[in-house]
């Protein structure tokens, strides 16, 4: 008889199950078929046809082989051109690595840099993967709780207080999932002096960069003296509605790329070839698709923000991504109670803010990657629920 508890890594068994996964498991039950959910963290658009067709064509032509480890040179070239065109970032093609989703880019950056005992500043509420990956490397996540009164941005004071001589990395997850917060150039400039003369590397997760409303996205790597200490992680999932293709990339200075590429080479070999051919088409001819989708998200963003305000729920107006993070503290329920009661009593699903860190208590994440009709129905259920509180 094998004793699995002694077989398994204590580091892994010690990881908490993702809070969002727990909630999603509830929803996947047969009895939840009538639930109107605003939970999904992926676009409701289908990958634009010309991009799908490029993938199909590559299969028809039998292009089913491995690509070079870092990705096809043409794709690296297109990524480099895209980053310049859209965000004025200067990366040579060889300073990019094509990864399996933005998630792998995050994983590579943390694994290449963090050693046991190193501290990594993780702002929360945020995407659920940073903390466990840091722990798997033996690192120590230092949670920086962003606040609604600061529009969920990192302030210089908060950053200063979180930095110690053990700090190895700062995770910068903007535009932010789940809050919808962004950081402007001025706000990033205010953080930069705390980082410039240090050996702290910034892991800038910019997967939602294209979903920036009322202004342009600014990457911290575009600030003076920050390029050399930044790993930019991004991908195709959100901008081009390509979640299932599992394709992302990182961009970083050559000495970092060289080491991250080693991990990628041993663990993954290369990102899926079909997806890479589709991505080349996306980057070459997909700017208009992004614009069309972002305009539609923007309209829904205004609609849901006004809708929540109208029914008396306080909200920070999201400026990025496709989530809104209403403040439910005044109803006197915990996030989990609120979401569970909304689910069971009014058949509407939204995600408890605590799924994104303890600082999400008192909030809930609502995705507006849904049709207006769907959002309208969900809002009416939320309204009916809060009237009972």
Q: Would you tell me which residues interact with other proteins (CB under 8 A)?
A: 18, 20, 24, 27-28, 37, 39-42, 44, 127-129, 177, 243, 295, 299-300, 302-303, 306-307, 370, 372-374, 376
Among candidates 178, 185, 154, which has minimal Cα distance to 315?
Answer: 178
| Closer by beta carbon to other proteins, 207 or else 251 | 207
- Calpha distance 250→236 (Å, rounded): 11
| Closer by beta carbon to other proteins, 10 or else 373 | 373
| Closer by beta carbon to other proteins, 291 or else 330 | 291
| Closer by beta carbon to other proteins, 41 or else 272 | 41
Nearest distance, CB of residue 285 and other proteins, angstroms: 20
| Closer by beta carbon to other proteins, 207 or else 257 | 207
Nearest distance, CB of residue 377 and other proteins, angstroms: 13
| Closer by beta carbon to other proteins, 299 or else 330 | 299
Nearest distance, CB of residue 359 and other proteins, angstroms: 17
- Calpha distance 226→202 (Å, rounded): 8
- For 222: left if phi > 0, alpha if psi spans -120 to 50, otherwise beta; the answer is alpha
Let me know if 288 is exposed, middle or buried by CB neighbors in 10 A (0-12, 13-18, 19+): exposed
Nearest distance, CB of residue 20 and other proteins, angstroms: 6
- Calpha distance 365→38 (Å, rounded): 8
Residues 245 and 236: beta-carbon distance below 8 Å? yes
Report which secondary-structure segment, H or E, holds 135: helix 130-136
Q: How far does CA 36 lie from the centroid of its chain?
A: 23
Nearest distance, CB of residue 171 and other proteins, angstroms: 15
Tokens, residue 74: 């043409």
| Closer by beta carbon to other proteins, 49 or else 66 | 49
Among candidates 193, 140, 174, which has minimal Cα distance to 321?
Answer: 174
Q: What angle do CA 186, 189, 191 make, to 5 degrees?
A: 120
Among candidates 261, 292, 269, 300, which has minimal Cα distance to 109?
Answer: 261
Nearest distance, CB of residue 123 and other proteins, angstroms: 16
Residue 222: which residues within 8 A CB-CB, separation 6 or more?
Answer: 87, 88, 89, 185
Nearest distance, CB of residue 24 and other proteins, angstroms: 4
Nearest distance, CB of residue 373 and other proteins, angstroms: 8
Nearest distance, CB of residue 325 and other proteins, angstroms: 15
The residues facing 66 across adjacent strands are: none
Q: State residue 144 phi and psi, 5-degree precision.
A: -110, 110
- Calpha distance 140→164 (Å, rounded): 12
Let me know if 53 is exposed, middle or buried by CB neighbors in 10 A (0-12, 13-18, 19+): middle
| Closer by beta carbon to other proteins, 229 or else 238 | 238
Sign of CA dihedral 14, 19, 20, 21: positive
| Closer by beta carbon to other proteins, 151 or else 376 | 376
Q: Which residue has the tokens 């394709």?
A: 247
């Amino acid at each position: 008889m094998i004793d699995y508890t002694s077989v398994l890594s204590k580091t892994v068994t010690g990881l908490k199950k993702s809070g969002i996964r727990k909630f999603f498991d509830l929803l996947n039950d047969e009895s939840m078929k009538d639930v109107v959910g605003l939970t999904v963290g992926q676009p409701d658009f289908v990958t634009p046809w010309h991009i799908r067709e490029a993938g199909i064509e590559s299969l028809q032509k039998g292009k089913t082989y491995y690509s070079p480890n870092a990705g096809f040179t043409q794709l690296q070239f297109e990524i480099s051109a895209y980053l310049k065109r859209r965000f004025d970032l200067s990366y040579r093609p060889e300073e990019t690595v094509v990864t399996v989703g933005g998630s792998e880019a995050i994983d590579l950056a943390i694994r290449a840099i963090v050693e046991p005992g190193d501290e990594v500043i993780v702002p929360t509420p945020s995407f659920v993967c940073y903390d466990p990956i840091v722990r798997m490397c033996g690192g120590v996540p230092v949670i920086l709780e962003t606040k609604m009164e600061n529009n969920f941005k990192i302030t210089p004071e908060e950053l200063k207080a979180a930095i110690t001589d053990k700090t190895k990395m700062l995770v910068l997850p903007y535009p932010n999932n789940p809050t919808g917060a962004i950081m402007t150039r001025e706000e990033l400039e205010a953080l930069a002096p705390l980082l410039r003369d240090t050996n702290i590397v910034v892991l800038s997760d910019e997967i939602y960069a294209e979903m920036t409303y009322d202004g342009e996205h600014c990457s911290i790597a575009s600030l003076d003296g920050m390029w050399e200490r930044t790993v930019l992680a991004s991908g195709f999932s959100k901008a081009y509605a390509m979640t299932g293709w599992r394709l992302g990339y990182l961009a970083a200075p050559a000495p970092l790329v060289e080491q991250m590429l080693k991990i990628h080479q041993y663990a993954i070999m290369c990102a899926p070839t079909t997806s890479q051919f589709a991505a080349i088409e996306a980057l070459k001819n997909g700017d208009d698709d992004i614009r069309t989708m972002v305009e539609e998200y923007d309209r829904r963003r205004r609609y849901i923000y006004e809708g929540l305000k109208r029914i008396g729920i306080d909200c920070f107006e999201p400026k990025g991504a496709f989530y809104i993070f209403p403040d439910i503290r005044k109803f006197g329920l915990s996030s989990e109670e609120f979401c569970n009661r909304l689910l069971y009593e009014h058949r509407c699903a939204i995600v408890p803010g605590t799924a994104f860190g303890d600082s999400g208590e008192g909030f809930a994440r609502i995705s507006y990657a849904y049709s207006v009709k769907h959002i309208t129905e969900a809002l009416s259920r939320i309204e009916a629920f809060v009237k009972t509180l």
